[in-house]
């Protein structure tokens, strides 16, 4: 087990129990059926201690407490927006911090007699690394550089802690997007393992088709993810339609140019009812013109693609500006007129530290975390 998969508490080394798939836990703990019981306590009953696991023998509970860490993350800050979105800052065992965001997509709906018709619908945006190697010019996370990968358990516990904080029932399904801090495909093994842990029916039962992995375009890793056949959705952070501009915005384009990304996407296994999502961060006077829209249509020709236009969220010190709504609408209408499915992502959390990495940077300046 790597250093990324361990947590240290009271000077004794413990393993993060969330790092284990149910099958792995069944090989560690005998008899193996106990793994299913432990999963139930962690992911369904949201147990805060091994002592609460009443259907386990007392000696087993004591041994589990000695060997395993049940709290790999500590919530150190939470900011709530008027629109219902909540940004969380979690501290890891080594003092570093990562962000996750709960996005309220739709309010609960009720029948005329007052009974519940539909639960609230949530999307949870989670981080996969502390910092990031990609170095996008518009991204605040990149300013602090790369520190380390998150273990599978540290990825999983972001969602579990949000469930606990918001009293979200264990059987209430959310959508997950790996779009927080870090490049998910740069930490592919742990991300893939987290996908499986989330999807376990004895765990959180979040189906892979509710999980979207976003990448800045690591072509070879897109191909590897495709071969894993996890059943997840794929999102490409494109943001530019020619290599010259993309290299300025995203230096990784020098290693993985647009042509290689498009080729990898063509070979990616896509559910017949799904499309590959192309995220296009719109920056004022940089990539918001109709000429760019025309190039984008040509680029996506023949792909099962959907374009998501995203308003750039300014943060202190950035050189970039938020685009005008009319330019966003014009860009969208052009794509739609050419048969490209295109939506404009509703901006959320503008009254809080909305940009990815902003809350972390704010708290670091206050001496919280590393």
- Phi, psi values for residue 258, rounded to 5°: -60, -40
**Active site (annotated) includes residue 99:** yes
Residues 85 and 107: beta-carbon distance below 8 Å: no
Q: Is 239 annotated as a binding residue?
A: yes
- Write the DSSP string, 251-319: GGGGTS-HHHHHHHHHTS---TT--EEEEEEE-TTTS-SHHHHHHHHHHTTTS-EEEEEEE----TT-S
Neighbours of 57 (CB within 10 A): 10
127 in a labelled binding site = no
- Choosing from 69, 99, 154, 279, which is the catalytic residue? 99
Q: What is the DSSP letter of 346?
A: P
CA 157 – CA 64 distance, rounded (Å): 18
Residue 361 in contact with residue 368, Cβ under 8 Å? Answer: no
Question: Is 23 assigned to a binding site?
Answer: no
| 132 among annotated binding-site residues | yes
Longest dimension (CA), the chain: 68
The three-state DSSP-derived secondary structure of 134-184 is CCCCCCCHHHHCEEEECCHHHHHHHHHHHHHHHCCCCCCCCEEEECCCCCH
Indicate the burial class of 206 (C-beta count within 10 angstroms; 0-12, 13-18, 19 or more). Answer: buried
167 is in an annotated binding site: no
Is 175 one of the annotated binding-site residues? no
Q: Kindly report the backbone phi and psi dihedral angles of residue 332, in degrees, each rounded to the nearest multiple of 5, phi listed first.
A: -60, -45
- Residue 237 assigned to a binding site: yes
Catalytic residue, from 154, 279, 356, 361: name it: 356
Crossing angle of helices 219-228 and 258-266, rounded to 10°: 10
Per the annotation, does 336 bind a ligand?
A: no
Closest CA to 89 of 127, 140, 132: 127
Cβ neighbour number for residue 18 with a 10 Å cutoff: 26
Is 238 annotated as ligand-binding?
yes
Identify whether 125 is a catalytic site residue.
no
81 assigned ligand-binding residue: no
Residue 265 to residue 280: CA distance in whole angstroms:
16
Q: In angstroms, rounded to a whole number, what is the distance separating the alpha carbons of residues 50 and 42?
A: 9
Question: Binding site for [4Fe-4S] cluster: what residues are annotated?
Answer: 132, 136, 139
Question: Binding site: what residues are annotated?
Answer: 132, 136, 139, 182-183, 214, 237-239, 313
Question: Binding site for S-adenosyl-L-methionine: what residues are annotated?
Answer: 182-183, 214, 237-239, 313
**Residue positions annotated with a catalytic role:** 99, 356
């Amino acid at each position: 087990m790597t250093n990324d998969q361990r947590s240290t508490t009271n000077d004794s080394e413990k393993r993060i129990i969330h790092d284990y798939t149910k099958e792995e836990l069944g090989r560690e703990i005998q008899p193996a059926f106990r793994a299913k019981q432990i999963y139930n306590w962690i992911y369904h009953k949201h147990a805060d201690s091994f002592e609460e696991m009443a259907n386990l023998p007392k000696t087993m509970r004591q041994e589990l407490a000695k060997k395993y860490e049940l709290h790999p993350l500590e919530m150190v800050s939470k900011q709530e927006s008027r629109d219902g979105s909540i940004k969380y800052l979690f501290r890891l065992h080594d003092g570093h911090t990562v962000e996750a965001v709960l996005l309220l997509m739709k309010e609960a709906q009720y029948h005329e007699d007052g009974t519940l018709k539909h639960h609230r619908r949530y999307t949870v945006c989670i981080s996969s690394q502390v910092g990031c190697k990609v170095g996008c010019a518009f991204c605040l996370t990149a300013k602090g550089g790369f520190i380390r990968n998150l273990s599978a358990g540290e990825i999983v516990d972001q969602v579990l802690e949000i469930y606990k904080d918001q009293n979200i029932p264990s059987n209430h399904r959310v959508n997950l997007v790996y779009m927080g801090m870090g490049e998910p495909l740069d930490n592919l093994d742990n991300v893939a393992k987290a996908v499986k842990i989330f999807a376990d029916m004895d765990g959180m039962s979040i189906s892979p088709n509710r999980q979207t992995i976003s990448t800045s375009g690591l072509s070879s890793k897109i191909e590897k993810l495709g071969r894993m056949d996890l059943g997840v959705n794929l999102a490409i952070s494109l943001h530019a339609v020619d290599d010259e501009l993309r290299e300025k915005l995203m230096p990784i384009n020098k290693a993985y140019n647009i042509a290689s990304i498009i080729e990898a996407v063509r070979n990616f296994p896509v559910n017949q009812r799904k499309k590959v999502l192309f995220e296009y961060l719109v920056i004022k006077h940089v990539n918001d013109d109709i000429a760019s829209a025309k190039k984008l249509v040509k680029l996506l020709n023949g792909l099962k693609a959907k374009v998501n236009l995203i308003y750039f969220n300014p943060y202190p010190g950035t050189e970039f500006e938020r685009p005008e709504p009319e330019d966003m609408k014009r860009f969208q209408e052009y794509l739609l007129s050419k048969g490209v499915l295109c939506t404009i992502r509703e901006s959320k959390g503008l009254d809080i530290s909305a940009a990815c990495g902003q809350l972390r940077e704010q708290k670091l300046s206050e001496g919280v975390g590393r």
